[in-house]
Structure 1
Amino acid sequence: MILVTGGLGMIGAHTAAALADRGEEVIVTSHRPTPLPSFLAGRVTVETLDVTDREAFLALGDRYDIRDIVHLAGSIPEADPVDFFRRDLSGLLTALEAARAWHVSRFAVASSIGVYTGRPEIPWREELDLPLADLPHAIVALKKAVEPLTTFTLAGTGVHPVLLRIGSTWGPLMDPESPFNIIPPYVGALGRGEGVPPLYADDGGDFGYAPDTGRAIALLMTAGTLSHTAYNVSSGHRYTHRELADALAAAIPGAHVDLLDGRSGGSSDDPYLDISRLTAATGFAPEFDVGGAVVDYVAWRAANPR
C-alpha cells in the first residue's frame, strides 16, 4: 500500500489516481473532511489526519501495511513565515519518522522548480548546484530546505528518498482564483464572458498539467529501480502566452485574450525544467500539450466548481 499525504489536494489526488491506475492500493490523508473527487470514488482509502499529529500519523502503520510514502501535504503561508515553516516542517519530520519506523522502500517529497532560482542556465537540470539566492516565496524557501533535511534523515536507513522538483502545475482541483497560475482564473473569467488582462505574447513558462504530474510521480514510485534522488517533474517544455491564448480561444466560444508584443521585461527566456532524467527512469512523456490541457480543463470546470 502507498500512502499519499495531502492526497485530496490537486497534485495529491492526481497522484493517487495514477497509482490506482497502476493497480496500487492507495491510502490518502486529508487535513479536514473534503469531498472526494469523482475520479477517486471507490478507488482509495481516505484518512482525515493532521500530519503534524505524530501519534495519529504513526498509528496508521498499525492499521495498514504501508510500503511507500508520497508526502505532498502542505499549507498556505501567513504573512509571518515562522508559523508556516514550523507547521510544514513538523509534518515533514513526522512523515520521515514514519518512513523509518515502517521501513518503507521509497519516500517521495514535494520540492519545487523554484529551488533552481539564481541559475542562469535554461532549461534547469538536476545536475545543477542549487545556488544561495534570494527566493521569491516562503513556499520555495521551505522546499529548498526540505531536500537536505530529507536526504540527511534517511541516509543509511535503506529508505530511498525521491525529491520531486515539481514545475508550475495547474488543472482540476486547483483554486479557480489561484495566484500561482493564471490559467484557472482566465478560464473562469472567459467562461463567464468577462474580459481578462492582456498578456505579453512571448512571456510563458513551465506549465505542467496536474494529471500528467500525478502520473509522473506514480511512475517514479513504481519504477523497478531509481538511480537518483532528485527528479524534475513537469512537461519538459516552455509554453508561451501566445500558445495559451490560442488554446483558450479554441476551447471557449467567444474567448479572446489581448496579446502585447514581446516580453514583459528582460531578454532572457523564462525557465523550464528538463525532464530527461524522469523519462529515462520511467518512460514518462506528457499526454497533454497546452491546447489539450485547456480543452480537458474547460470540460472539467463545466461540471465541477474547481
Structure 2
Amino acid sequence: MSWLVTGGAGYIGAHVARAFIEQGIDTVVVDDLSTGRKAFVHPEARFVQATILDGERLVEAMRQFDVTGVVHLAGFKYAGVSVERPLLTYQQNVTGTVSLLGAMEGAGVHHMVFSSSAAVYGTPDVDLVTEDTPKHPESPYGESKLIGEWLIADQGRAHGLAHTSLRYFNVVGSGTPDIHDVSPHNLFPLVFDALLGGRTPRINGDDYPTPDGTCVRDYIHVADLADAHVVAARRLEAGDRLEPVYNLGSGDGVSVGEIMSAIADGTGIAFTPEIAPRRAGDPARIVASGELAARDLDWRMRHGLGDMVASAWAARKAAAPAAE
C-alpha cells in the first residue's frame, strides 16, 4: 500500500513526499519535470516521470505500486502568468485533474488530498478569511483551483471518493537544505536572488492601511504544510470524516516590511528595500484562520518567521552555485 504524490518533484510536492516517507508511508512520486527537479525527489520514493494528462500511465503506476491514495499537487501554479496563458492553465489544472480522477477510478483508488489555493478567494473584504468566505477568483489559476475542488467533490458524491482540499497562501522556508523554492515569482526567491546578485530588493507600495504601510500576508512554513497533508491522508485512510476544505492559515499574518527586516537579520546582509509603486490589484491584507485545520489536522505554526527565513536562506545558499 502506498500514496502517490503528483508534482512530487516540485518545491512543495517534494516536501510533502518526504514527510510521507519520514512517517513510514511508501510513496510514489509522479512528475513530468517541466518545473520540478529530479534532485528534489527523495531517494526512497518510487519515481514515475509522467504527465497527469496521461491517464493510462497513471493507472499503470497506481496498480503497479498498490496505491491507496493520492496527494494532488501537480499543476500550473503561476497566477499572474495564467492571465496570459489561460488555455495552458486550464489544460494542466482542470483537464489534468479530470485525467487523474479518471485514473483513480479506473485503478480503484478512493482517497485524495488536493492542493488548492487561497487564490480561490480573490481579494476578500474581510480581515480574517475562513472556509466560508465568498470565492471570487481573479485569475485563470484561481478559477482552475476552484473548479478542481468542484470536480473532486462531484466525484466524491458520485463514486464515494474520500477527499479534502487544503487552501494555503504563501509557502516559504525549507525542511531540508536539499530543496529550495525555485519559483521566479515568489517573494523569498526574488529577495534572495537580488541579494546574491548585489541588487537591492524592493517593496511594491508602502502606503497601505496597515501598521507599517506594507501589505500583510499569510506566510506558512513548508514543513508545517507537509505535515498537515500527512495527517489528512492518514485520517481519510482511516475512514474519518473530514471537512471538504481547510485553510492552512496563520491567523495573524506578516507584513512585507517585516519580511524584509527578518531577511536582513537572517542573512546578515544589511539593506534598505527600495519602495516601488503599488501593483494593481494588490489588497492591503489577506490572512486566513486555521482553526478548522487545527481542530482536525493538527495544524499549527511550528516554525516562526526567523525559522522560515533561516531555513530558506540555507537551502538557497546550498543551491547557489547551480542556481546562478
In structure 2, the CA distance between the partners of 1:294 and 1:81, relative to structure 1 (3 Å rule), is same
Gapped regions of structure 2 (runs ≥ 5): 174-178, 207-211
User: Aligned to 2:246, what secondary structure does the other structure show?
Assistant: strand
State the superposition RMSD in angstroms: 2.7
- Tell me the residue number matched to 1:28: 29
- Tell me the residue number matched to 1:157: 159
Q: How far apart are 1:29 and its partner, in Å?
A: 0.7
Q: How far apart are 1:42 and its partner, in Å?
A: 2.4
Q: Letter of the aligned partner of 2:181 in structure 1?
A: M
More moved, 221-230 vs 49-58: 221-230
Q: Deviation per CA, 1:110-146, whole angstroms, max 9, x where unpaired? A: 211021225322211113343xx4x432211111211
Superposed counterparts of 1:193-272, under 5 Å: 193-198=198-203, 200=206, 201=212, 202-223=214-235, 224=238, 225-258=240-273, 269-272=284-287
Matched, 1:99 2:125: no
User: Aligned to 2:285, what secondary structure does the other structure show?
Assistant: coil
Matched, 1:275 2:278: no
Q: Deviation per CA, 1:234-281, whole angstroms, max 9, x where unpaired? A: 434310123212211111223213376xx9899x85011111111100
Q: Letter of the aligned partner of 2:263 in structure 1?
A: L
Kept after mapping to 2: 8 A contact 1:163/1:229: yes
User: Aligned to 1:304, what secondary structure does the other structure show?
Assistant: helix
Q: Distance in 2 between matches of 1:281 and 1:99?
A: 25
Q: How far apart are 1:147 and its partner, in Å?
A: 1.3
Q: Percent identity?
A: 21
In structure 2, the CA distance between the partners of 1:103 and 1:236, relative to structure 1 (3 Å rule), is farther
Kept after mapping to 2: 8 A contact 1:103/1:159: no
Q: Distance in 1 between matches of 2:7 and 2:52?
A: 9
Kept after mapping to 1: 8 A contact 2:180/2:316: no
Q: Letter of the aligned partner of 2:287 in structure 1?
A: Y
In structure 2, the CA distance between the partners of 1:14 and 1:237, relative to structure 1 (3 Å rule), is farther
Kept after mapping to 2: 8 A contact 1:111/1:163: yes
Kept after mapping to 1: 8 A contact 2:180/2:312: no
Kept after mapping to 1: 8 A contact 2:59/2:104: no
Gapped regions of structure 1 (runs ≥ 5): none
Q: Letter of the aligned partner of 1:24 in structure 2?
A: I
| Aligned counterpart for 1:82 among listed residues 63, 87, 92 | 87
Q: How far apart are 1:292 and its partner, in Å?
A: 1.3
User: Aligned to 1:36, what secondary structure does the other structure show?
Assistant: helix
Q: Letter of the aligned partner of 1:252 in structure 2?
A: T
In structure 2, the CA distance between the partners of 1:302 and 1:97, relative to structure 1 (3 Å rule), is same
Q: Distance in 2 between matches of 1:48 and 1:265?
A: 38
Q: Letter of the aligned partner of 1:163 in structure 2?
A: S
- Tell me the residue number matched to 2:303: 288
- Tell me the residue number matched to 2:146: 144
Q: Deviation per CA, 1:159-211, whole angstroms, max 9, x where unpaired? A: 212112121223443225x22x2221112222343212245343221122222
Q: How far apart are 1:94 and its partner, in Å?
A: 1.5
Length, aligned pairs only: 298
User: Aligned to 2:260, what secondary structure does the other structure show?
Assistant: helix
Q: Letter of the aligned partner of 2:316 in structure 1?
A: R
Structure 1 moving runs of 4+ over 4 Å: 263-266
Q: Distance in 2 between matches of 1:198 and 1:232?
A: 27
In structure 2, the CA distance between the partners of 1:173 and 1:136, relative to structure 1 (3 Å rule), is farther
- Tell me the residue number matched to 2:209: none
Q: How far apart are 1:287 and its partner, in Å?
A: 2.2
Kept after mapping to 1: 8 A contact 2:89/2:144: no
Q: Distance in 2 between matches of 1:62 and 1:35?
A: 23
User: Aligned to 2:112, what secondary structure does the other structure show?
Assistant: strand
Q: Letter of the aligned partner of 2:222 in structure 1?
A: A
In structure 2, the CA distance between the partners of 1:270 and 1:63, relative to structure 1 (3 Å rule), is same
In structure 2, the CA distance between the partners of 1:104 and 1:234, relative to structure 1 (3 Å rule), is farther
> Under a length normalisation based on structure 1, what TM-score does the superposition of the two structures give?
0.87
Q: Letter of the aligned partner of 2:4 in structure 1?
A: L
Kept after mapping to 1: 8 A contact 2:14/2:42: no
Q: Letter of the aligned partner of 1:209 in structure 2?
A: H
Kept after mapping to 1: 8 A contact 2:172/2:308: no
